[in-house]
Amino acid sequence: MKDFFVTLLIGIVAGAIDVLPMIKMKLDRHSIASAFVFYLILPFVILNIDLYGLAWWIKGGVTGLALALPVVILVSGEDKKSVPPMVVMSAVLGTGISAAGHFIL
């Protein structure tokens, strides 16, 4: 049960890191909620997946980027400027989630 709450806390922190700039830029609430829920759920996937023996530090970035690709493709049709920050944040936060899970759990 402790692992569940620690994983949830990691997701809340990652979600907050991602949405704070979005709130500052005054993006719509659906985009903000979508990003927060994505990063709230992502630690549960990253910390419980085994990707062919990949090291923990690369597993998070790869998983975060792979799961963000559908949203990135959807957003690219409307706003091409948002794609690079989304790709970078998904890889960086995925790696950060993986690192937090590795060192905390």
Residues in the chain: 105
pLDDT the model gives residue 14: 98
- Scanning the structure block, which residue is given the tokens 């970078």? 88
pLDDT the model gives residue 39: 98
Separation between Cα atoms, residue 72 and residue 98, nearest integer Å: 21
* Mean pLDDT for the stretch of residues 34-42: 98
**CA torsion, ordered 90, 92, 97, 101, to nearest 10 deg:** 140
Look up the pTM and report it: 0.93
pLDDT band at 5 (very low <50, low <70, confident <90, very high): very high
pLDDT the model gives residue 103: 97
- Scanning the structure block, which residue is given the tokens 């690192």? 99
- Scanning the structure block, which residue is given the tokens 């790869």? 62
Residues 6+ apart with CB under 8 A from 13: 100
Q: pLDDT tens-digit profile of 42-98?
A: 999 999 999 998 999 999 999 999 999 999 999 999 999 999 999 999 999 999 999
